[in-house]
Protein backbone atom coordinates (compact mmCIF):
# COMPACT_ATOMS: atom_id res chain seq x y z
CA UNK A 1 0.00 0.00 0.00
CA UNK A 2 2.71 2.51 0.98
CA UNK A 3 4.78 1.85 -2.12
CA UNK A 4 1.72 2.56 -4.28
CA UNK A 5 0.47 5.62 -2.35
CA UNK A 6 3.89 7.25 -2.13
CA UNK A 7 5.37 6.34 -5.50
CA UNK A 8 6.61 9.31 -7.48
CA UNK A 9 4.14 8.74 -10.36
CA UNK A 10 1.20 8.58 -7.91
CA UNK A 11 2.26 11.70 -6.03
CA UNK A 12 2.87 13.53 -9.29
CA UNK A 13 -0.49 12.55 -10.82
CA UNK A 14 -2.79 12.79 -7.77
CA UNK A 15 -3.54 16.53 -8.08
CA UNK A 16 -4.36 16.26 -11.78
CA UNK A 17 -5.86 12.80 -12.20
CA UNK A 18 -7.70 12.40 -8.88
CA UNK A 19 -8.16 16.09 -7.98
CA UNK A 20 -6.29 15.64 -4.70
CA UNK A 21 -5.07 18.75 -2.91
CA UNK A 22 -1.80 18.67 -0.97
CA UNK A 23 -1.18 21.15 1.84
CA UNK A 24 1.73 21.54 4.20
CA UNK A 25 2.09 22.80 7.74
CA UNK A 26 5.02 25.13 8.27
CA UNK A 27 6.22 25.71 11.81
CA UNK A 28 8.85 28.38 12.19
CA UNK A 29 9.62 28.15 8.48
CA UNK A 30 10.19 24.40 8.73
CA UNK A 31 7.99 21.63 7.34
CA UNK A 32 5.96 20.29 10.25
CA UNK A 33 3.65 18.02 8.30
CA UNK A 34 1.45 17.59 5.28
CA UNK A 35 -1.97 16.36 4.26
CA UNK A 36 -3.69 15.31 1.05
CA UNK A 37 -7.45 15.28 0.52
CA UNK A 38 -9.93 15.18 -2.31
CA UNK A 39 -13.37 14.16 -3.52
CA UNK A 40 -14.63 10.59 -3.63
CA UNK A 41 -17.18 8.98 -5.90
CA UNK A 42 -19.80 9.52 -3.20
CA UNK A 43 -21.91 12.66 -3.15
CA UNK A 44 -20.45 15.50 -1.07
CA UNK A 45 -17.86 13.23 0.55
CA UNK A 46 -14.15 13.97 0.63
CA UNK A 47 -11.41 11.67 1.84
CA UNK A 48 -8.37 12.70 3.83
CA UNK A 49 -5.88 10.47 2.01
CA UNK A 50 -2.73 11.41 3.90
CA UNK A 51 -2.02 13.18 7.18
CA UNK A 52 1.48 13.23 8.58
CA UNK A 53 3.06 15.35 11.31
CA UNK A 54 6.51 15.42 12.82
CA UNK A 55 6.49 13.34 16.01
CA UNK A 56 7.25 16.39 18.17
CA UNK A 57 3.96 17.96 17.02
CA UNK A 58 1.81 15.01 18.03
CA UNK A 59 -0.59 15.91 20.81
CA UNK A 60 -0.05 19.65 20.44
CA UNK A 61 -2.63 22.23 19.41
CA UNK A 62 -0.73 22.76 16.15
CA UNK A 63 -1.63 19.19 15.20
CA UNK A 64 -5.27 20.24 14.78
CA UNK A 65 -4.50 23.01 12.29
CA UNK A 66 -3.79 20.74 9.36
CA UNK A 67 -6.93 18.56 9.46
CA UNK A 68 -8.98 21.63 10.36
CA UNK A 69 -7.75 23.42 7.25
CA UNK A 70 -8.50 20.36 5.10
CA UNK A 71 -12.01 20.14 6.50
CA UNK A 72 -12.75 23.84 5.97
CA UNK A 73 -11.43 23.76 2.41
CA UNK A 74 -13.34 20.57 1.56
CA UNK A 75 -16.55 22.16 2.87
CA UNK A 76 -15.94 25.22 0.68
CA UNK A 77 -15.61 22.83 -2.27
CA UNK A 78 -19.00 21.29 -1.52
CA UNK A 79 -18.18 18.46 0.86
CA UNK A 80 -20.59 17.66 3.65
CA UNK A 81 -18.22 15.20 5.28
CA UNK A 82 -14.51 14.47 5.36
CA UNK A 83 -13.52 10.86 6.03
CA UNK A 84 -10.21 9.49 7.21
CA UNK A 85 -9.28 5.85 6.80
CA UNK A 86 -6.80 4.61 9.34
CA UNK A 87 -4.90 1.37 9.55
CA UNK A 88 -6.51 -0.58 12.41
CA UNK A 89 -3.10 -0.96 14.05
CA UNK A 90 -2.34 2.77 14.01
CA UNK A 91 -3.60 3.49 17.53
CA UNK A 92 -2.16 6.98 17.59
CA UNK A 93 -4.15 8.01 14.51
CA UNK A 94 -7.31 6.32 15.82
CA UNK A 95 -7.00 8.19 19.10
CA UNK A 96 -6.54 11.47 17.22
- 25-56: per-residue pLDDT in tens? 999 999 999 999 999 988 899 999 888 899 99
**What's the CATH fold of domain 2-95?**
Aminopeptidase (3.40.630)
Q: Is the pLDDT of residue 60 over 90?
A: no
pLDDT at 31: 93
CA distance 23 to 37: 9
Percentage of the chain exceeding pLDDT 90: 45
Q: Where are the domains of the chain?
A: 2-95
Please name the residues in contact with 20: beta carbons below 8 A apart, sequence gap of 6 or more: 14, 36, 37, 38, 49
| Burial class of residue 49 (count of CB atoms within 10 Å of its CB; 0-12, 13-18, 19+) | buried
Amino acid sequence: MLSRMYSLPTLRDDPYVRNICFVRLLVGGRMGGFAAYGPTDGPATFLLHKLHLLPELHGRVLACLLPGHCEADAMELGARQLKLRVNKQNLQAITF
